[in-house]
Amino acid sequence: MKRVVLALFLLLPLAFGQGLEAELKRAEALRKARAAEAARIAAELKNLDAKTQELRKKIAALDAELSRVARRIAELGARIRALRAEIQNLEAEEAKKARAFEARKRELERLLVLLWRQRAAGYLPALRATSFAELAAKSRWLSALGAAELDLARQVEAEARALAALRRKKAALEAQLERARAEAERERNRLKARRAELTRLLAQLEQHKKAKALKLAELERAKRQLDAEIARLQKELEAERARAQRVALGVPKALVGRLLFPVAGGRIEKRYGQDGQDFEWIRAPRPGAPVRAAGSGQVFAVLYYGNVGWTVLIQHTSTLFTQYVNLQEPRVATGDHVEQGELLGYLGGGALIPPDVLWFRVAVWKNGQFYYVNPDPYF
């Protein structure tokens, strides 16, 4: 039982360290993705701000144009009202002239009747006149009176015609102003419709901006949470790394240079401490390559750990252990004595580790704890 507990204690930091590394990488990748999304949304917000400002300028220009058109409509209305007053005055004057003309016309008709009667019955004035001179005087007086009345009637008629022409001209001008006012009203309605359209678009942009701002605020909060999580993970990783470094272990001098490289023809692809790992990443020349004991000792434990395959732990001294991860079913069992170079098994037992890779670790037991140390000085 004690062997199992110690073996698990040796394995758990491996999984824990790898889990922390993976979790930290996921958090950093997520933070990077969130930062990219936040930058994209910030750019969209900037673009929306520019569009909003442009729309506000257009609406302000439309308001100025609407004010100008409203003033034009008011001016046209005032001119139309003035023209209508003038036309009413002209109509009254025209009616007055018409009445005067009718009066002159009736007077002329009366004078014409008198002249006709005088000419038709010329003897009557002769009989009634006391002398020829009196008769001639009456005739001339009637003729002069008729000519004067006729001239006056013609003058009144000419004035009436002039008034009628002026009234028609004023009416034509009124109609022209009415058309201009109607056109101005249509222009105002068109501008109002355009303004309403731009106002709706502005409201949509403001709503879109609000949604983007909320999303950006959420991303900022998420970023702060991720920063805190990454800081926590980094702190835990640093603590995990420091755990193996805070005690001066020293290398047992009797073993320095005595450990055998566990994979013949292999090479160290990732060294101890790289990317925070506490093992050597050894690349074999081919998948399924044999793995041999780095030194003589007793098999302390043989365990299968999830996706990393079989793991063999060998105790070389009371304080020094080696660990071999990613084996297929081992050729040794717990309690076996092995010699340096003896076959432990073949690579390729783990699902998450390439079949030509060995995770090799050196552990030292001191002060009641295991510490993982750099294997290089032992080769």
Same domain membership, residue 211 and residue 104: yes
In a domain, 270, yes or no: yes
In a domain, 213, yes or no: yes
In a domain, 89, yes or no: yes
Largest CA distance in the chain: 187
CATH number at residue 59: 1.10.287
Q: How far is residue 299's CA from residue 295's CA, in Å, rounded to a whole number?
A: 11
Same domain membership, residue 296 and residue 210: no
- Structural domain range at position 296: 250-378
Query: With bands split at pLDDT 50, 70 and 90, how would you rate the model's confidence at 125?
Result: low
In a domain, 232, yes or no: no
DSSP-assigned states of every residue in 9-62: HHHHHHHHHHHHHHHHHHHHHHHHHHHHHHHHHHHHHHHHHHHHHHHHHHHHHH
Same domain membership, residue 320 and residue 199: no
End-to-end CA distance of the chain: 32
Same domain membership, residue 170 and residue 74: yes
Q: What is the mean pLDDT of residues 187-203?
A: 89
Neighbours of 82 (CB within 10 A): 12
> Structurally, how many domains does the chain consist of?
2
Same domain membership, residue 271 and residue 164: no
Whether residue 326 contacts residue 266, with contact meaning beta carbons closer than 8 Å, is answered with no
Same domain membership, residue 205 and residue 108: yes
pLDDT digits (tens, 9 = 90+) for 219-272: 888 888 888 888 887 777 666 666 545 443 555 545 545 899 999 999 999 998
Same domain membership, residue 260 and residue 213: no
Cβ density class 228-259: b for 16+ within 10 Å, e for less:
ebbeebeeebeebbebbeeeeeeeeeebeeeb
Same domain membership, residue 188 and residue 57: yes
Same domain membership, residue 182 and residue 61: yes
pLDDT digits (tens, 9 = 90+) for 57-94: 989 998 998 898 889 889 888 888 887 888 888 778 87
Same domain membership, residue 263 and residue 178: no
Rg (CA), the chain: 59
